[in-house]
């Protein structure tokens, strides 16, 4: 069904029929419920705190369990936050927190898999472009530079890629 056909259909419904359909969608589909819960009671700070705890547990668990260090956990959360249209400043903070946590993990337990460093770099690229796209360069530029410095201090094989990316963004407003 096209959007145009949907609009036509929705306009043909009476108010109580439309309300019934929205309530059915709310009951049947978790994404609809999540969306409406967020719209009417955002609590963005709470969502960010929960997401940060999830990332910390992934890289630096407080229990004796072995860290899994899966980048996908944070990526799913970021994608979810993008669909909810979370405040860009909070989302940028979370994106950088994710990278910083991965770097703290590597500082504690040196990782040897090249894929780890590539994935952290991909997160860095995504975060830095998000920061720039949302006009937050002035707020987060220092943290981006600290991430570069940490990559160099930990002798990451792709530290020069971090530097090149920041150099590209340095001249942009």
- What is the end-to-end Cα distance of the chain in Å, rounded? 42
In the predicted model, what is the mean pLDDT of residues 146-157?
96
Say if residues 158 and 117 touch (Cβ distance below 8 Å). yes
Do residues 75 and 95 share a domain? yes
Q: How far is CA 47 from CA 12, 41, 55, 78, in A?
A: 38, 11, 13, 11
Do residues 138 and 57 share a domain? yes
pLDDT for res 172: 78
Per-residue pLDDT tens for 156-170?
999 999 999 999 988
Q: What is the residue range of 7's domain?
A: 1-41
Do residues 112 and 32 share a domain? no
Do residues 36 and 50 share a domain? no
Do residues 31 and 106 share a domain? no
Distance from chain centroid for Cα 151: 20
Do residues 92 and 20 share a domain? no
Say if residues 95 and 127 touch (Cβ distance below 8 Å). yes
Instruction: Assign 39 a pLDDT band (cuts: 50, 70, 90).
Output: confident
pLDDT for res 133: 95
């Amino acid at each position: 069904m096209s959007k145009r056909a949907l609009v036509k259909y929705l306009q043909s419904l009476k108010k109580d029929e439309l309300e019934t359909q929205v309530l059915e969608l709310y009951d049947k589909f978790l994404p609809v419920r999540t969306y409406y819960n967020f719209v009417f009671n955002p609590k963005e700070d709470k969502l960010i705190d929960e997401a940060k705890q999830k990332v910390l547990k992934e890289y630096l668990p407080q229990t004796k369990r072995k860290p899994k260090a899966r980048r996908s956990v944070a990526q799913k959360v970021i994608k979810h936050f993008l669909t909810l249209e979370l405040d860009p400043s909070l989302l940028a903070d979370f994106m950088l927190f994710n990278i910083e946590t991965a770097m703290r993990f590597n500082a504690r337990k040196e990782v040897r898999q090249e894929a780890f460093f590539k994935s952290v770099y991909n997160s860095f690229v995504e975060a830095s472009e998000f920061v720039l796209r949302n006009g937050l360069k002035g707020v987060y530029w220092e943290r981006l530079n600290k991430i570069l410095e940490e990559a160099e201090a930990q002798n990451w094989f792709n530290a020069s890629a971090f530097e090149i990316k920041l150099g590209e963004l340095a001249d942009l407003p």
